[in-house]
């Protein structure tokens, strides 16, 4: 399989607040997905709150979400939407294949 680079990252606090306020929310094992489908291009952001644990735990959760998203989005080319993935307690430890399946399903539900 050819390599797939990550889409643009959401980096501004304002964007995260907008997604949290307007986005459609889907709760799944391992993550909470906030999606806005009307967007000019594909953009992606990640959130891990202090509730999750120390810096090591939070960073690991974000990295796993990022990698899962990269792999899942490679199978959905041409998407134009904005997503924020919020890590949950089990994100860092759960089976990665499961996390990937849940994310693919959730994405399909948000953007058929």
Interface contacts to RNA, rule CB under 7 A: 1-6, 9-13, 16-17, 45-47, 54-56, 59-60, 62-64, 67-68, 70, 96-97
Considering beta carbons, is residue 32 or 111 the nearer one to RNA? 32
Minimal distance in Å, beta carbon 112 to RNA? 26
Minimal distance in Å, beta carbon 108 to RNA? 21
Minimal distance in Å, beta carbon 82 to RNA? 12
**DSSP, residue by residue, the chain:** -------EEP--HHHHHHHHHHSEEEEETTEEEEEE---SS-EEEEE--GGG-SHHHHHHHHHHHHHHHHHHHHTSTT---EEEEEE-TTTTTS-HHHHHHHHHHHHHHH--
Considering beta carbons, is residue 3 or 112 the nearer one to RNA? 3
Considering beta carbons, is residue 92 or 110 the nearer one to RNA? 92
Considering beta carbons, is residue 38 or 97 the nearer one to RNA? 97
Minimal distance in Å, beta carbon 85 to RNA? 10
Q: Give the whole-angstrom CA distance, residue 81 versus residue 53.
A: 30
């Amino acid at each position: 399989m050819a390599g797939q680079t990550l889409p643009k990252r959401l980096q501004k606090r304002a964007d995260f607040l907008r997604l949290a306020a307007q986005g459609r929310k889907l709760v799944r094992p391992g993550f909470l997905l906030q999606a806005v489908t009307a967007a000019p291009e594909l953009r992606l952001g990640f959130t891990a709150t202090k509730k999750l644990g120390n810096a090591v735990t939070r960073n690991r959760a974000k990295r796993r979400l990022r990698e899962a998203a990269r792999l899942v989005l490679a199978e959905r080319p041409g998407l134009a939407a904005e997503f924020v993935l919020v890590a949950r307690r089990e994100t860092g430890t759960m089976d990665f294949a499961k996390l990937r399946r849940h994310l693919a399903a959730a994405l399909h539900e948000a953007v058929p």
